Amino acid sequence: MKKSRRNFIRQATVAGAGILVSNSVLSAKSYNRILGSNDRVRVGVVGFSDRHRSSHMPCFMNHYKELNFEVVGVSDIWKLRREQGAAMWKQKMGNDVKAYRNNEEMYGSKSVDAVFIGTADFQHALHTIEAVKAGCDAYVEKPFAETMEDNKAALKAVKETGKIVQIGSQRRSGTNYHAANDFIKSGQFGPITMVELTWNVNQPGRWRRPDLLKQLKEEDTDWKRF
């Protein structure tokens, strides 16, 4: 297999349609970490979310054999989610997938080389810092951060560790958006004097889930950690 772990994020672009953020900060340390052709990349899941289940999982299944990847662990502070995630991935992969109560437990096991991060928006940058400092490359859902302070802290950590991070931002990599951008720049619209954009979203099944809330119990969740 000619693929290296350094190609993890590039291949994920096909699956998750994201954008590389660390090409410019790859250091010699990155090349020293490249796995051999027979080495399997062990992947962990940080936050077993619906996003992960509906997008990451099917895309991963399309490419994991070719790239010699396997999912080995799921970290989630909610018992329900981590047990669901471990069970679903075990069924998909055919190997044991361990459920971890938190990220420290998973990284402390030294069992993962890369992670999917699909947690709450405000946690993405912070969980990226945890991942790269633990020696893992990461695919991170958008938005990457909610504050510039978190952005800068994560960028600093990525630069210092030389790890590879990709953000799942489909509208920056989709061919249709690139085509629209090229058309606008070509001048075929003529002089543009105003642009108006409206996006109305009302998705009860996405944002409001009363039935799921009923299953959330304090004893099953590390709420203070969240």
- pLDDT tens, residue by residue, 37-85: 458 899 999 999 888 998 899 999 999 999 999 999 999 999 999 999 9
Task: Kindly list the strands in the beta sheet with 19-20, ordered across the sheet, starting from the edge strand earlier in the chain.
Answer: 19-20, 165-168, 137-141, 114-117, 41-46, 69-75, 98-100
Domains annotated on the chain, with CATH: 5-172 (3.40.50.720)
Over residues 180-211, the pLDDT tens digits come to 989 999 999 998 899 898 988 877 767 778 88
The neighbouring-strand residues paired with 44 are: 73, 115
d(CA 94, CA 208): 34
Q: Please give the model's pTM, rounded to 2 decimal places.
A: 0.74
d(CA 146, CA 154): 12
d(CA 79, CA 76): 7
The neighbouring-strand residues paired with 20 are: 166
Mean pLDDT of 99-117: 96
